[in-house]
Amino acid sequence: MTPSSRTLPSRRLLLGSLPLLGLALAACTDNPGVASSSASDGGGAAGAVTVTLTDDACELSTASVPSGQVTFTITNNGTVPNEFEVLAEDKLRIISEKENIGPGSSVELTTSLAEGSYFTASKPNMVGALVGTAAFTVTAGEAVEVDEDTAALEEKAVTDYAAYIKDQVGLLVTSAKEFTDAYVSGDRELARSLFAQGRRPYERIEPTAEVFGIEEAGDLDMAMDARVQDLAADAGTEVTDPSVLKGWTGWHRIEADLFTEDGSPFSFADDAARKAAADDLNKNIQTLYDIVYGKRTGLGGAAFTITLNDVVQGAQGLMEEVATGKIVGEEDTFSHTDLDDFQANLQGAQVAYGNVQALVVAKDEALDKDISERFDAVQAELDKHTDGTTPDGEPAFVDYSTIASVQEDAGEAPGDDSYTDAQRAISDAVNALSESLSQVAGTILH
């Protein structure tokens, strides 16, 4: 099967967030709200935009909305999965996005946009060049009064989540080094046991980490966490094509070598190549650390900054990572350590939601109760599949391929009609949680 005929995986999900590398908290706490008048250019209600995607076009019902909460209703009339993006004025930084919009399907992206100039575009198959790039203007909307107690809760949410991101990136530096040291030493058994553990901090903050770039948005994530399926689809070739493998770096390149037999198309030629791959991964993780800790700037010279929107959207995005792609085993297609990734995504989502929980309770106690119950339901499903502990003492999970229909060696993704009962139970619980979390943005953003 050629890459173009596969169900393609999600490469990154930035959760409809305001840019992490440039907008301050004031963009959310003091951001004017959605005006009650009609949006300009005939787009209908202010803050409501209809988006129509095809394989070669991205059309919006309006090119301008008032600042504040904006809902994009996106329909994919094309033949392949698509992605909708809102970009900063430099056309590099991703402000908001929605991935994996299947052919014939419609989804909503609710976000908060400050006054300014933006661009919109689509990306068929979530790879390659942008399609239908067009200017998008956010004008000054009506002011929204925020009481002191709410403002204090919003500021605390942002401060605490920023601290959590720093903590996880710091852990990532050491956990990755422990893994790569074992890998380079040739101790394959130890390295295999450390693979999932080493990645865990990144998985907890994945949507946030994915936005960082040096030359373009997300290039650090592509260097560290790219899957060969994406690269092959972009090149229009097979996953074993030598030119694709030559340009593939990061966790999953090492995974492919570590969890396949010698002589496999995915094996490295020698130990020197293994060391080079390990050094490259650690270098990119250090760059991420340096950006987050203010030792260097990121894309466009911007410094690391978190907004309330990043916190709000973070939880939903982490669960969407599981729901829209990881459930079919596309993430860890060689090691089948996917359940550990699910657990880390769940942990990160719980932290992100916990930081805005008080704001949700103040607006909608029933929604908070529903979300809390659905978090418990997902954890209960994962707990059914533990098996011992990882070297750091955390619960270990069974090989995902033993309980689920999965991709093997970056092959064809199974359809949902092929799910096992266990896989279906996890999928249903994750989808229910993701749906509930999707309501948070419309509840507390302004």
Q: Where are the domains of the chain?
A: 31-139, 146-217+273-446
Q: What is the DSSP letter of 413?
A: P
Which residues have CB under 8 Å from 46's CB, separation 6+? 34, 35, 36, 37, 38, 39, 65, 66, 141
Query: What's the rounded Cα separation, in Å, for the pair 427 and 433?
Result: 10
Both tokens of residue 143? 């002011």
CATH topology of domain 31-139: Immunoglobulin-like (2.60.40)
Both tokens of residue 318? 């982490």
Q: What's the rounded mean pLDDT across residues 313-320?
A: 87
Sign of the CA dihedral running 86, 36, 154, 430:
negative
The torsion angle over the Cα atoms of residues 237, 408, 275 and 222, rounded to 10 degrees, is 60
For residue 309, the number of C-alpha atoms closer than 13 Å in the C-beta half-sphere is 32
Please report which confidence band the pLDDT of residue 298 belongs to, taking 50, 70 and 90 as the band edges.
Answer: confident
Convert the pLDDT of each residue in 209-268 to its tens digit.
877 778 877 789 889 999 999 888 878 899 999 999 999 999 999 999 999 998 899 999
Both tokens of residue 274? 């293994």
Rounded to the nearest 10 degrees, the angle between the axes of helix 421-444 and helix 308-324 is 160
* Cα 261–chain centre separation: 31
Please report which confidence band the pLDDT of residue 142 belongs to, taking 50, 70 and 90 as the band edges.
Answer: confident
Convert the pLDDT of each residue in 48-80 to its tens digit.
999 999 999 999 999 999 999 999 999 999 998
Its CATH class, for the domain covering 146-217+273-446, is: mainly alpha
pLDDT-above-70 percentage for the chain: 90
> What's the predicted TM-score (pTM) here?
0.84
